[in-house]
Amino acid sequence: MMKIEAIIQPSRFESVKDALLEIGIEGMTVTEVRGHGRQKGHTEVYRGREYTVDLLPKVKLELVLPDQLVNRAVDAILKSAKTGKIGDGKIFLSRVEEAIRIRNEERGESAL
């Protein structure tokens, strides 16, 4: 089992979701987050006072998948989230020890 954490542009979220659905992935956790990598922020001006906004809105997706689905999911995210500009985000992969479904206490991949 692997966990995929993908931080993407909010504007790409709908197409990422659709791409994942297409390869049969139905469950995910989505959070609205703020942050920046190399992109840095932008400047806002209120009555002549300039503010640099460093932290930009992003969307974070978290999915835990059986190993055989991970590569296809990563491909789907890469294709659908890419605009080619700075600020497109990142994907992090990590191994997951265990998964437990709360309803019936199923364990392992069948709990996903």
Partner 1 sequence: MNRGQKNFKLRRTGSAAYNLAYTGVSSQLQTRMRTAKDAHSFASEISMKRMGIVCCSVLTLVLLAVPLLAQQSPATASAATTSASASSSEVSPAVTDKLTQLEQKVTAAQSSADNAWMLVSAALVLMMTGPGLALFYGGLVRQKNVLAIMMQSFALMALITVLWALVGYSLCFGGSGPFIGNFQMALLRGVGAIPNADYAATIPQSTFMVYQLMFAIITPALITGATAERMKFSGTVLFMILWFLVVYAPMAHMVWGKGGFLNASLGGRFPTLDFAGGTVVHVTSGVSALVCALYLGKRVGYPRQPMPPHSLVLSFTGACLLWVGWFGFNAGSALASNGLASSAFVATHFGAATAAIGWCVAEWFKNGRASALGAISGAVAGLVAITPAAGFVAPMPALGIGFIAGLFCFWMVTKFKGIFGYDDALDAFGVHGAGGTIGALLTGVCAQAVINPIFGDGKAVGGLDGHWGQVGNQLVGVLTAWVLALVGTIIILKVVDVTVGLRVTEEHEVEGLDITQHGEEGYNLEV
Residues near partner 1, by CB under 8 A: 44-49, 51-53
Residue number, 46 or 103, with CB nearest to partner 1: 46
**Cα–Cα distance for residue pair 7/80, rounded to 1 Å:** 13
Instruction: For the CB of residue 30, give the shortest distance to partner 1 in the complex, in Å.
Output: 17
| Alpha carbon distance 11, 56 (integer Å) | 12
For the record, the structure tokens of 8 come out as 């993407």
Name the residue nearer to partner 1 (CB basis): 56 or 91.
Answer: 56
Shortest reach from residue 44's CB to partner 1, in Å: 6
- Cα 109 from chain centroid? 21
Give the pair of three-digit tokens for residue 55: 């932290």
- When the beta carbons of 23 and 53 are compared against partner 1, the nearer one is 53
User: Are the C-beta atoms of residues 64 and 94 closer than 8 Å to each other?
Assistant: no
CB of 49 to partner 1, least distance (A): 7
CA 98 to chain CA mean position, Å: 21
* Single-letter residue type at 42: H
Minimum gap (Å) between residue 41 Cβ and partner 1: 11
> 45 or 102, CB closer to partner 1?
45
